[in-house]
Amino acid sequence: MMKAMVLAEFRPAEENPLELMEVDRPEPGPRELLVKVRYCGVCHTDLHTVEGELPDVSLPRIPGHQVVGTVEETGEEVSMFRKGSRVGIAWLYSTCGRCHFCRSGRENLCREARFTGYQVDGGYAEYMVVPEEFAYEIPDNFPDEKAAPLLCAGIIGYRALRLSGVKPGQKLGLFGFGASAHVTIQVARHWNCRVFVFSRSAEHRRHALELGAVWVGKLDERPPEKLDGAIVFAPAGEVARLALRAIERGGTVALAGIYMSPIPELDYKSELYHERCLKSVANATRQDGNEFLTIAADIPVTTEITIFPLEEANRALQAVKHSALNGAAVLKIE
């Protein structure tokens, strides 16, 4: 048996939808790892999951997809890791490996993909299992608790940065400045980008300046100059429209969230014309993860975290929902 925070019914975070329960400890299959979870990051996607904003979530479910732990047991066919290895587990849990998306380096679009803490039980628990080929080696210069946010906030932010089309030395806008943006800005600054940050939170704007933003403003403020590209982290459709107005001709706005409220009607001439592009970011590939972890270790990226015990996962989700933290929330499992 093991302890886990379990979602049995979709409810607002303020109603404490997760319940601490004793559940069966999972058993690893032939090519799976049983991981003893040490820390698990708390993500906006977890919030959308527990509040019922995402489709295809079967209940009961254990959320969590930014997992750092150690291998407790290995299946008989495992060859990549051994007992005691430190591993990370991210959002992408498995793919079919056969479809044209998987074969063309776009496994993030696989129709048979499964996702951690969404279609399979995740890391708000003492143990979880994962296919060995979807586990990551964690760079040695990151302690467990600091590594946890890298596994989604970091990886998806890195993919969104690439899909924004912004090149080293160019001007990047970040709309919303939570867990993912506070990592992404560090990669962008490593590329010598000039970063403009838009946030409703004065505390988050201050944090962005500390991390090297050249300008900060509220979500609806116009930047002093046009941007080469932008990333929208805020799950509000109106913000996507504001970002389109802020970018230069030929620029791209990448939408980094799995969930977004409806985008208002766009004016073609003033908001889309001149080859402006609005692009969603759907999950991430293992290549994204490995590239990002290498870059993060080289910079090195620092993550600002607030640690909550496992049994306070509801309080962590509430803090994420109300932008009450700088950086990321992380659950300490042990």
Tell me, what CATH number does 327's domain have? 3.90.180.10
Average pLDDT over residues 312-317: 98
Average pLDDT over residues 228-254: 97
Q: Are residues 120 and 170 located together in one domain of the fold?
A: no
Which residue bears the tokens 């979602």?
Answer: 7
Q: Are residues 174 and 242 located together in one domain of the fold?
A: yes
* 111 φ/ψ angles, rounded to the nearest 5 degrees: -70, -20
> Which pLDDT does position 99 carry in this prediction?
98
Q: Are residues 96 and 194 located together in one domain of the fold?
A: no
- Pull the structure tokens for residue 295: 């870059």
Mean pLDDT over the full length of the chain: 97
Average pLDDT over residues 105-118: 97
Strand partners, 74: 33
> Which pLDDT does position 41 carry in this prediction?
98
Average pLDDT over residues 64-74: 98
Q: What percent of the chain has pLDDT over 70?
A: 100
Burial label, 282 (beta-carbon count in 10 A; 0-12, 13-18, 19+): middle
Domain that holds residue 23: 2-151+304-332
Q: Are residues 75 and 119 located together in one domain of the fold?
A: yes
Average pLDDT over residues 110-119: 97
Domain count across the chain: 2
Tell me, what CATH number does 170's domain have? 3.40.50.720
> Which pLDDT does position 334 carry in this prediction?
79
Q: Are residues 177 and 271 located together in one domain of the fold?
A: yes
What is the distance in angstroms between the CA of the first residue and the CA of the last residue of the chain? 15
Q: What percent of the chain has pLDDT over 90?
A: 99
- Residue 332 pLDDT exceeds 90: yes
The dihedral sign for the CA sequence 88, 92, 301, 175: negative
Average pLDDT over residues 119-135: 98
Cα radius of gyration rounded to whole Å, the chain: 19
Residue 292 lies in a domain: no
Task: Determine the Cα–Cα distance for residues 117 and 54; give it in Å rounded to an integer.
Answer: 12
Q: Are residues 318 and 254 located together in one domain of the fold?
A: no
Contact between 108 and 158 under an 8 Å Cβ cutoff? The reply is: no
The dihedral sign for the CA sequence 101, 106, 109, 113: positive
Tens-place pLDDT, residues 39-51: 999 999 999 999 9
Q: Are residues 115 and 246 located together in one domain of the fold?
A: no
Q: Are residues 121 and 226 located together in one domain of the fold?
A: no
SS (H, E, C) the chain: CEEEEEECCCCCHHHCCEEEEEECCCCCCCCEEEEEEEEEEECHHHHHHHCCCCCCCCCCECCCCCEEEEEEEECCCCCCCCCCCEEEECCEEECCCCCHHHHCCCHHHCCCCEEECCCECCCCECEEEEEHHHEEECCCCCCHHHHHHHHCHHHHHHHHHHHCCCCCCCEEEEECCCHHHHHHHHHHHHCCCEEEEECCCHHHHHHHHHCCCCEEECCCCCCCCCEEEEEECCCCHHHHHHHHHHEEEEEEEEECCCCCCCCCCCCHHHHHCCCCEEEECCCCCHHHHHHHHHHHHHCCCCCCEEEEEHHHHHHHHHHHHCCCCCCEEEEECC
Average pLDDT over residues 214-243: 97
Of 159, 203, 142, which is closest to residue 178 (Cα–Cα)? 203
In terms of C-beta distances under 8 Å and separation of at least 24 residues, what long-range contacts does 314-319 make, across chains too?
314/5, 314/13, 314/16, 314/17, 314/18, 316/42, 317/13, 317/18, 317/42, 317/46, 317/47, 317/50, 318/13, 318/14
Q: Are residues 160 and 30 located together in one domain of the fold?
A: no
Residue 276 lies in a domain: yes
Q: Are residues 119 and 234 located together in one domain of the fold?
A: no
Tens-place pLDDT, residues 129-162: 999 999 999 999 999 999 999 999 999 999 999 9
Residue 290 lies in a domain: no
- Model confidence pTM above 0.85: yes
